């Protein structure tokens, strides 16, 4: 198991992974720093929301964590299944499977390896966030418990995407990976609060969304649910597919703020259930596959 | 011990294996021969657990091949060693040995033996084909498995490399290992194997020691000015490999006098022989006869 885990790290470090990760984290930090210095603000629900400095710098920090989540997802899309089924086409995985290990153990050993790589990225990102948040948030840093909880949820979103990618790769081959890309895009699309505002009328009416940048910031703004049925419907949407939503909860946790919208909480058990199902099916297909 | 019992496998509409039965005992080297697409690789892949048979069973030391514990003492050398290009050779070997519960410290001495000691720190992608093959052998030497399954072990190797492989195989046999090798290099199979199995269209055509595959120890090689149509009848029941497309006939004979008798008989029946030669029979001749 340790060998499988280590193999993923070797693959990651021998490729362009560390340099790409470092450059991306630095770029995101630079953008967040720039945003934190912005003095712009806008009104929402009668409340003034600042983009940058001070108490209301949640937009800047929220963007940082979300950007890292996007980066992680992109890394998974392009490299995730390759990390797990390394060189499957060239005989790498089949050769590894001639060792005295079961296919299930191989699959989950490699998945743990990939997750440890992403956990390391999140630890670095959240460490930076903890380091800078006292100067950005006048209320000070966020409790360690919430940061760790947020990190676990952010990782859960990646587990779900990885499980989906694996299942489709094993089931449908390269076209499966393409389908996963579409699923992921659809996930982000469905998770947009803006879309929900139109679908369920829980957010601002369209006429108040004048500025071009407003939709970009809108997911970070406060709002009130329109009613019980709207909450139920939104909860349903957020259960499928909950990749983006569970990460939104993770970001809210890591930043020490209330989970918004509240219906996102439903995405957490949803992500666990979907991940278990996808991984279970992927394992089942992998065990029966002739290599 | 490796045992294939009535193994069948079908890919789509193609019957890759149809009732394969082979048993290889400890201390034996078994050579597995056959034309391309005969089912050799499928038989090997079922034995290492990569492919599931439709029916029948393969066991390694009594444990069914699909069971991970059957691979505890298995050493497998595929036709192509899948070395990731960016990883250093030592790292890849450590990973593989650890994955197979082997002793990582034995890598260095095994590398000395196969002549790769000074390449362990190099990226695996920089190795030549022959060196990659030596890497596979290195892994087997580091593992010292009880069962060796080898697919074309000497492909891409130079003369020294082939000698090295032969020595390693013979040493493993002396140590009591069970060795099963698939190869197209007949001279090598003939030299090292105790028994040879020939597979064609998924079924075992013959299984015997190399000497028993030859109906007679010598070959009379004949070519004709004009191809005789009813040559079969003229040879009157003698074992021969007749290849009209190359204009040659190889007749198995017991000695030179027996060869002379064949020539005499053909000339008496009006066949104009252009050229004749006499030589010891080889496994290539036996294969030609079995797969004719």
Q: What is the mean pLDDT of residues A99-115?
A: 89
* Shortest distance, CA B68 to any CA of chain A (angstroms): 5
Q: Which residue has the higher pLDDT, A134 or B135?
A: B135
Residue A109: the pLDDT is 87
* CB spacing of A98 vs B91 below 8 angstroms: no
* Shortest distance, CA B285 to any CA of chain A (angstroms): 34
Q: Which residue has the higher pLDDT, B141 or A245?
A: B141
Select the residue from A95, A97, A101, A110 to test the B interface by mutation, using most B Cβ atoms within 10 A. A95
Q: Which residue has the higher pLDDT, A174 or A276?
A: A276
List, in sequence order, every beta strand (DSSP E) within chain B: 2-11, 14-24, 29-33, 55-60, 63-64, 74-77, 147-151, 178-182, 195-200, 203-208, 218-224, 240-243, 248-253, 273-280
Which SS3 state, helix, strand or coil, does residue A237 take?
helix
Give the lowest-confidence range in A78-87, A235-244, B246-255. Answer: A235-244
Residue B44: the pLDDT is 92
* Cis before A229? omega within 30: no
* Shortest distance, CA A290 to any CA of chain B (angstroms): 5
Q: How confident is the model at residue A184 (pLDDT cuts 50, 70, 90)?
A: low
Cβ contact B65:B59 at 8 Å = yes
Which SS3 state, helix, strand or coil, does residue B145 take?
coil
* CB spacing of B98 vs A10 below 8 angstroms: no
* Shortest distance, CA B206 to any CA of chain A (angstroms): 28
The pLDDT of residue A49 is above 60: no
Cβ contact B148:B172 at 8 Å = yes
Q: Which residue has the higher pLDDT, A132 or B289?
A: B289
Nearest-CA neighbor of A193 among A266, A260, A265?
A260
Cβ contact B200:B232 at 8 Å = no
Distance, CA of A62 to CA of A150 (rounded, Å) = 12
Q: What is the mean pLDDT of residues A85-105?
A: 80
Count CB-CB contacts under 10 A for residue B255.
12
Contacts of A286 (CB under 8 A, 6+ apart): A103, A104, A107, A170
Stated pTM of the model: 0.77
Q: Chunked in runs of 10, what are the mean pLDDT values of chain B (292 residues)? A: 91 88 92 87 92 92 89 89 85 89 88 89 88 91 92 86 90 92 83 89 87 81 77 73 78 83 79 81 78 69
Which SS3 state, helix, strand or coil, does residue A50 take?
strand
* Ramachandran sector of residue B149 (left: φ over 0; alpha: ψ -120 to 50; beta: rest): beta
Among the partner residues B69, B80, B86, nearest to A14 by beta-carbon distance:
B86
A10-19, A222-231, B85-94: which is most confident: B85-94
Nearest-CA neighbor of A69 among A144, A158, A9?
A158
Residue B154: the pLDDT is 85
Residue B190: the pLDDT is 82
Looking at chain A, the whole-number percentage of residues with pLDDT higher than 90 is 4
Q: How confident is the model at residue A223 (pLDDT cuts 50, 70, 90)?
A: very low
Residue A48: the pLDDT is 59
Give the lowest-confidence range in A186-195, A209-218, B204-213. Answer: A209-218
A11 touches chain B (CB under 8 A): yes
The pLDDT of residue A9 is above 90: no
Q: Which helix (H) or strand (E) holds A49?
A: strand A47-50
Looking at chain A, the whole-number percentage of residues with pLDDT higher than 70 is 59
The pLDDT of residue A51 is above 60: no
Residue B147: the pLDDT is 93
Cβ contact A198:A234 at 8 Å = no
Q: What share of chain B is helix, strand, coil (3-state, %, to 5)?
A: 40, 30, 30
List, in sequence order, every beta strand (DSSP E) within B83-234: 147-151, 178-182, 195-200, 203-208, 218-224
* DSSP string for residues in B36-82: TTSSHHHHHHHHTTSS--SEEEEEETTEETTSGGGGTTEEEE-SS--
A205 touches chain B (CB under 8 A): no
Token couple for A90: 């060239």
Q: For A23-62, b where at least 16 C-beta lie within 10 A, e where not — what string?
A: ebbeebbeebeebbeeeeebebeeeebbbbbeebbbbbbb
pLDDT, averaged across chain A: 71
Residue A37: the pLDDT is 66
Residue A41: the pLDDT is 63
Residue A138: the pLDDT is 43
* Cis before A241? omega within 30: yes
**B contacts of A97 (beta carbons < 8 Å):** 49-50
Size of interface A-B (CB pairs under 8 A): 69
**B contacts of A17 (beta carbons < 8 Å):** none
């Amino acid at each position: 198991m340790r060998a499988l885990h280590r193999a993923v790290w070797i693959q990651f470090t021998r490729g362009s992974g560390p340099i790409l990760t470092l450059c991306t984290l630095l770029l995101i930090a630079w953008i967040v720093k720039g945003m934190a210095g912005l003095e712009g603000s806008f009104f929402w629900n009668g409340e003034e929301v600042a983009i940058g400095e001070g108490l209301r710098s949640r937009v800047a920090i929220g963007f940082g964590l979300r950007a890292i989540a996007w980066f992680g997802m992109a890394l998974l899309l392009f490299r995730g299944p390759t990390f797990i089924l390394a060189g499957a086409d060239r005989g790498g995985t089949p050769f590894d499977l001639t060792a005295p290990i079961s296919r299930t153990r191989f699959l989950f050993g490699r998945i743990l390896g990939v997750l440890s790589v992403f956990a390391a990225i999140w630890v670095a990102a959240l460490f930076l966030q903890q380091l800078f948040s006292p100067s950005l948030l006048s209320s000070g840093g966020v409790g360690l418990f919430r940061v760790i909880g947020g990190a676990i949820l952010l990782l859960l979103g990646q587990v779900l995407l990885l499980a989906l990618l694996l299942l489709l790769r094993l089931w449908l081959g390269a076209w499966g990976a393409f389908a996963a890309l579409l699923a992921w895009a659809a996930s982000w699309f469905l998770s947009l609060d803006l879309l929900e505002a139109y679908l369920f009328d829980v957010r601002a009416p369209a006429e108040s969304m004048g500025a071009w940048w407003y939709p970009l910031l809108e997911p970070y703004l406060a709002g009130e649910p329109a009613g019980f049925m709207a909450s139920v419907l939104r909860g349903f949407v957020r259960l499928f597919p909950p990749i983006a939503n569970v990460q939104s909860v993770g970001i809210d946790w890591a930043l020490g703020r209330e989970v918004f919208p509240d219906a996102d909480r439903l995405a957490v058990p949803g992500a666990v259930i979907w991940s278990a199902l996808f991984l279970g099916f992927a394992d089942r297909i992998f065990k029966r596959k002739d290599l | 011990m490796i045992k294939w019992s009535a193994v069948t496998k079908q890919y789509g509409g193609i019957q890759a294996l149809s009732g394969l039965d082979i048993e290889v005992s400890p201390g034996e080297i078994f050579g597995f021969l056959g034309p391309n697409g005969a089912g050799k690789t499928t038989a090997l892949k079922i034995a290492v657990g990569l492919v599931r048979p439709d029916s029948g069973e393969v066991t390694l030391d009594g444990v069914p091949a699909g069971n991970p514990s059957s691979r505890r003492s298995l050493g497998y050398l595929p036709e192509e060693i899948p070395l990731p290009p960016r990883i250093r050779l030592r790292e890849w070997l450590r990973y593989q040995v650890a994955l197979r519960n082997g002793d990582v410290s034995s890598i260095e001495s095994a590398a000395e033996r196969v002549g790769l000691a000074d390449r362990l720190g190099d990226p695996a992608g920089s190795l030549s084909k022959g060196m990659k093959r030596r890497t596979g052998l290195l892994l087997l030497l580091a593992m010292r498995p009880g069962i060796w399954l080898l697919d074309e072990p000497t492909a891409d190797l130079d003369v020294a490399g082939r000698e090295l492989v032969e020595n390693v195989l013979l040493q493993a046999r002396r140590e009591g290992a069970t060795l099963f090798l698939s190869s197209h290099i007949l001279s090598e199979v003939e030299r090292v194997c105790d028994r040879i199995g020939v597979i064609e269209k998924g079924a075992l055509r013959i299984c015997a020691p190399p000497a028993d595959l030859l109906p007679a120890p010598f070959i009379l090689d004949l070519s004709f000015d004009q191809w005789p149509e009813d040559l079969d009848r003229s040879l009157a029941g003698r074992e021969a490999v007749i290849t009209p497309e190359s204009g040659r006939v190889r007749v198995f004979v017991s000695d030179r006098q027996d060869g002379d008798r064949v020539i005499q008989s053909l000339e008496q029946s009006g066949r104009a022989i252009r050229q004749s030669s006499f030589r010891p029979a080889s496994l290539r001749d036996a294969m030609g006869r079995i797969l004719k």
